[in-house]
Amino acid sequence: MWDKNFLSRLFRLGLPIMLQNLFVVLGNSVTTLMTGKLGDAPIAAAGLSSQLFFILSVVQFGVSSGASIFTSQFWGNRDRESVLKALGVSLTLGAGVGALFMVIALFFPYVFINIFTKDPEVIPIAASLLKIAGFSFMFTPVVNTYSFVLRSTGNVRLPMLVSSVGVGLNVLLGYGLIFGKLGLPNMGVTGAPTANLIARGTECVVLVWLIYRLKTPLAAPLRQLFDFDRAFLQKVLHRILPVMTNELIWSLGITTYAAVYARLGTEAYAAVAIKDTIENLIFVPFIGITNACAILVGNTIGAGKKEAAQGFVKQSVILTLGLGVLLGLLLGLGRRLIISYFNIEDVTRAFAENMLLVLAAVLWIRGSNIMFFIGMMRSGGDTRFAIRMDASSMWLVGVPLAFLAAFVFHLPVYYVYLIVMVEEAFKFTMSIWRYRSRRWIHDLISA
């Protein structure tokens, strides 16, 4: 069953992606951990204000990963010109999405925050954070698009190295601006988004400059990137838009969960914000393996080797299952030590410990679902089935259960989170059926 050549390539590609994702997550998590030293209200405000960036990131992930379905298969077919055109389509869509979210952050921050909470202490803090963060929303599409397309051509090191620069700058500036260290002004809770804005802008400029300075396959005149005709645009949009829609529907569902948790109280949402921070860190290896698998599966399908692609997915899912069990055990045993870092009330502490215990128990199934969605369906061009399954599981299973658990049975936040995980079991079952049917494989080059 095990293909040593595939596993070697998987880890060669996956490790740099893993490190890049770790750098990004660390940059955000470290500033969140620093904010956690300021108390319950600041950390809850930071978590709520980040919801808009979360939706933007997920939608932009849909745009970039949707384009990478094509670029990985085009690259497997040695069609550089089409890779560049797909890059141009992705940049155009991403810029439009970034501009829309920036307008919401800068001009309607109170409207957005009021969706989640009515706490008079939290709302003004969260709105002030959102106004600063909004300026960084135009950098995200450029960084994400170039990073994804570079990976699909096999260049995973450059995005990783540039991310490390951005993260290092973010952490350094975050420490200085949140606490008034290193000769920088003491901005308190607003120091985190300010540091992220500066770091994100720097990362964007450095990445684009290096792409052209090192003469990578993406170093082409702008007119060549945007020299796509209507037929090509329609062909790419036919796959990108379902992926983008899928990610938007999913992100709105996650935001709905966040609104439900926030309505349970500031302490409950502070615990959720802490759980989210730890979750982002612990999912780093899953993201690395999943994206590496997606690249290899896409290249393999583009080369016309469908049977090999089926085997690659099987091996990757088994790896993520084992990794989920191992990391879940470690998280469950170490959850109290992790929570001890935060300066939070006893009620919040108890909520957070139980949230991490639930996360530890379901980690194996969540990691596997990510592999099925990104490593299998998305890389195989099976976007329409993915959106139907994702939307139905979230909005017909997860969201109704969240409302019932929170507002009908009035359960604590960690039990609400546990019940919501029924959605993941539904997706896992459907994904196994789809894998066995082999109907997830779509050769977009031949099509």
- pLDDT of 414: 93
At 17-68, the pLDDT tens digits run 787 777 777 766 666 667 766 767 777 788 778 888 888 888 887 788 777 7
- Phi first, then psi: give them for residue 80, nearest 5 degrees: -65, -40
pLDDT at 447 over 70: no
Contact 272, 47 (CB under 8 A): yes
pLDDT tens string 160-192: 888 888 888 888 898 888 888 888 888 888 888
Q: Which amino acid is at 65?
A: S
Q: 266, 253, 282: which is closest to 48 by C-alpha? A: 266
Q: Quick one: average pLDDT of 289-305? A: 84
The whole-angstrom separation of Cα 409 and Cα 388 is 29
Instruction: Evaluate whether 52 touches 225 at the Cβ level (below 8 Å).
Output: no
Q: Are 24 and 333 in contact (CB under 8 A)?
A: no
Two structure tokens written together for 17: 């992606």
- Residues with Cβ within 8 Å of 368's Cβ and at least 6 positions away in sequence, in order, are 317, 320, 321, 324, 428, 431
Grade residue 441 by pLDDT with cuts at 50, 70 and 90.
confident
Mean pLDDT of 250-256: 84
Would you say residue 330 has pLDDT above 90? Answer: yes
The answer to whether residue 108 scores a pLDDT higher than 80 is: yes
Closest CA to 386 of 425, 423, 424, 430: 430
pLDDT at residue 367, as a whole number: 93
What's the average model confidence in pLDDT over 190-199?
Answer: 88
Task: Please tell me the predicted confidence (pLDDT) of residue 445.
Answer: 61
Average pLDDT of the segment spanning 143-155: 86
**Tell me, what's the pLDDT at 28?**
65
In this structure, of 31-40, 122-131, 274-283, the range with the lowest mean pLDDT score is: 31-40
pLDDT of residue 46: 80
Q: Give the pLDDT confidence score for residue 39 in this predicted structure.
A: 67
Q: Which residue has the higher pLDDT, 329 or 53?
A: 329
Helix (H) or strand (E) holding 177: helix 157-179
Summary mean pLDDT of the chain: 86
Which residue from 62, 59, 83 is spatially nearest to 73, judged by alpha carbons? 83
At 407, the pLDDT band (50, 70, 90 cuts) reads very high
Asked whether residue 219 carries a pLDDT value surpassing 80, the answer given is yes
pLDDT at residue 75, rounded to an integer:
79
Specify the higher pLDDT residue, 260 or 442: 260
pLDDT at 285 over 80: yes
d(CA 65, CA 243) in angstroms, rounded, equals 8
Residue 446: what pLDDT?
Answer: 59
Mean local confidence (pLDDT), 222-243: 80
**For residue 128, which amino acid is it?**
S
Give the pLDDT mean for 275-282: 87
Report how far Cα 374 is from the mean position of its chain's Cα atoms. Answer: 11
Instruction: State the pLDDT at residue 36.
Output: 63
Give the pLDDT mean for 152-164: 83
Percentage of residues in the chain having pLDDT higher than 70:
96
Please determine, for residue 399, whether its predicted confidence score (pLDDT) is greater than 90.
Answer: yes
Q: Write the CB contacts of 133 (distance below 8 Å, at least 6 apart in sequence).
A: 49, 50, 52, 53, 105, 193, 196, 197
Residue bearing the bigger pLDDT, 431 or 222: 431
Confidence label for 4 from pLDDT (cuts 50, 70 and 90): confident
Q: What percent of the chain has pLDDT over 90?
A: 28
